[in-house]
Amino acid sequence: QVQLVESGGGWVQAGDSLRLSCAASGMIFSNFIMGWFRQAPGKEREIVASIARTGDITHYADSVKGRFTISRDNAKNTIYLQMNSLQPEDTAVYYCAAKFRFDPEYNYWGQGTQVTASS
């Protein structure tokens, strides 16, 4: 079955960087659009970034543009989220998700990893 496993979360001070990873298994990775989402306490889940199957097209939430970079390595079945200049408002549980290319919604999710940025 499809499994997505995130890693790399942690506690940092404002201005620091973190890199999240998401390893996928049980799927033909290159058939899936991948995304990073986050959910802060008391808030709805929001999409942070997405990346096309071949990695040539990326989209970002306005709140992270210029600070976060999504990338993928199809040979390793892994996506990454490089997060620079982290701010307290970036504190959330970050989730990796996968969407088969013709599906309207993301239908596979990881368990999440906590990112905390302290001022």
Question: So what's the pLDDT on residue 89?
Answer: 97
Beta strand 68-73 with 46-51 is unpaired
Kindly list the averaged pLDDT for each block of 10 residues, start to end, along the chain of length 119.
97 98 96 97 97 97 98 98 98 98 92 97
Query: How far apart are the C-alpha atoms of 82 and 98, rounded to whole Å?
Result: 18
